[in-house]
Structures are given as structure tokens and as C-alpha cells.
Structure 1
Amino acid sequence: MSIVVITAPRHGPTNATCAENAMWRLWERAQASGVDLLWRPCSDFPELTGHIGRSASDHADLVLIDVDANDVPDGDVAQLRDALAALPVPYIEVHDDSDASDASELVPGHPCLASVVVPGNTMASYDMALAIGLRYLSNEPRLAA
């Protein structure tokens, strides 16, 4: 089983070392549950929609998406909407701002499984989203090979 984490480009400075350390802790937690965690940080919105579209090739069973729909440039909205509509697995949205807008609002036919918002605490949002994702995957029936 695999969870792919796709993070949108950030406005302003970010602490890459802090983010990498946080993702390392999440990866360890997922591994302890028997789930691979892949992190796909994006430098722009076309890269973000590309990673959403390629999540099947990452063998994702679930996707965590950290994107505020309000930040998506008008020229990239259609591509994001199409990528989410074609996503073959459930996804969870992660936000650290209560003013953030879910990308799932762009695709009413394919809503997110959950939207996690912990204002001002990105790591807590990711922790909670991962907990929901791991619980969801542990309850999903699997097809026998």
C-alpha cells in the first residue's frame, strides 16, 4: 500500500529542513503501519497537477494534497480540476489555514475523503491526515492477487 503526499508551491519563505524532518517522521509512522509514503513537493501548479495525474504510476492507494484552491492561478484551474476528476483513488486535503479553500470544490463529482485544517500548524494537519489515511486503508477491502 502507498500514500502519495503532494504539496503545492508555497508563497514566501519556507523552512525546507523542517519540512523534510516532518515528512521523515510521517514516513516512519506510515512504514510502521506497513504503508509506503511518497512525498512529491511541487515548485509550480503544472507540476502539482502532473503529480496528481501520475499518482497511479506511484501505485497510490490514497493521496494527501496540500493545496489552497484560492492560490491556484486562473490559468491552472482547469488542469487541476481535470487531474482531480481523473484521480482513481480517494484523497485527503491538508491545510494549515482556516481561510484555505478545498480543491475538491473545483470537482463536485469527486469530493475529498476528508479535509484536515489545523490553523497555524502544518505538522498537526499532516499528522491528523495521515492518521485518517492509515485508518481508511486498514479498513479497505483488498482484492486477492
Structure 2
Amino acid sequence: MAIMILRGPHLASHTFNSELLRNLQQLAREAGRIVEVCACTGLREFIAGLRMARAQAPEFMLLDPGEIAREALNHPEAGLHDALDGLTAPYIEVHEDSDTAMGPGPYQRGAPLATIIINGDLSTSYRIALGIALRQLRTLPC
């Protein structure tokens, strides 16, 4: 019954504030779901979070790579695409601007259901992504 948000590092001016978190949690509660957030400080921790998610088996994931997108492109050996392919839950990428998008990858099994980019407005990106996730989950029992 959980939707996991996995967040990479962001510039200080682009924070995931408590008001946004409360809003997302309220929207999820109204739909009979909960939101869990895992914040990561770098690429390795983000990849570890993806692998951890496989074991925790959330129903849905919102992935916000933040500033790691460029690092992941420069270091494909780090295993980001393999970790994404290992996810069992559907996911949506959430971005504040197109510079942080992970871009197409050599996905073997699963690409994102959607990629949401609202330039300059991360809060709206999250609200749209959560709305899509909740609509997708409506057909599943709580």
C-alpha cells in the first residue's frame, strides 16, 4: 500500500519541504495509500535505494534523481540502468528541469511509465506524478 519516493541530491534552492511532503501524504491517504520518502546523497546511495526498493516491494515509485543524472551518464559502470531494470514496481521519473532528466537508457524490462518535467516547479512535478500513480493504483485492492 506504499508509494516510495526516492530522491537524489538537489541544490539547496530546490528543497523537498515539509509542506510538499504533507500535501503528498494527504493526497495518498485520501486514496488509501501511504508515501514513504528515501533521500539519497549521491549516485551510489541512489542505486542502493533502488536495490533496497526491490526488497521492500512498494506498489509504485516516484524517482527524483536530482543532480545525479549527469554523473550517471558519465559513469554507466555504476549500474543505474541495471538497478532500474531490477525494479518490480512501476515508476515515474520526477524532475524540476530537463537538465536533470536521466534520458533514454538501455532498459531491458522496464522504462518509466512517465517522465514529468515542469521546468522550475518541482512541487507541481511531484503532484502530477503522484496523481498518475494513484490513478494507476486505483484498480488494485488496498
The TM-score with structure 2 as length reference comes to: 0.85
SS at match of 1:26: helix
Inter-partner Cα distance in structure 1 for 2:115 and 2:14:
24
- Summarize deviations over 1:67-99 as a string: whole Å, max 9, x none: 153343634653211110111111100011033
Contact 1:4 1:58 in 2 (8 A): no
Partner amino acid, structure 2, of 1:108? Y
5+ residue gaps, structure 2, are none
Contact 2:57–2:88, Cα closer than 8 Å, also in 1: no
- Aligned-residue sequence identity (percent) comes to 27
Matching residue of 1:22: 20
Deviation at 1:101, TM superposition (A): 2.6
Match of 1:134 in 2: 134
Q: 2: CA distance between counterparts of 1:131 and 1:43?
A: 26
- What TM-score does the superposition give when structure 1 sets the normalisation length? 0.83
SS in structure 1 opposite 2:53? coil
Superposed CA deviations along residues 84-143 of structure 1, whole A, max 9, x for unmatched, are 01111111000110333335x224332100111111000000000000000001124x5x
Q: Distance in 2 between matches of 1:28 and 1:77?
A: 38
| 1:8 match | 8
- Structure 1 residues without counterparts, runs of 5 or longer: none
Instruction: Please give the per-residue CA displacement for 1:3-29, whole angstroms capped at 9, x wherever unaligned.
Output: 10001112x32465x522211210111
Moved over 6 A (4+): none
Q: Determine the C-alpha separation between the residues in 2 that align with 1:134 and 1:112.
A: 15
Aligned length: 138
Question: What amino acid is aligned across from residue 21 of structure 2 in structure 1?
Answer: M
Q: Which residue does 1:43 correspond to in 2?
A: 41
Cα 1:84–1:36 shift into 2, 3 Å: same
Matches within 5 A, 1:1-145: 1-10=1-10, 12-14=11-13, 16=15, 19-67=17-65, 69-72=69-72, 74-75=74-75, 78-102=78-102, 105-109=104-108, 110-140=110-140
CA drift at 1:31: 1.1
CA RMSD of aligned residues (A): 2.1
Which amino acid is the alignment partner of residue 51 of structure 1?
Answer: G
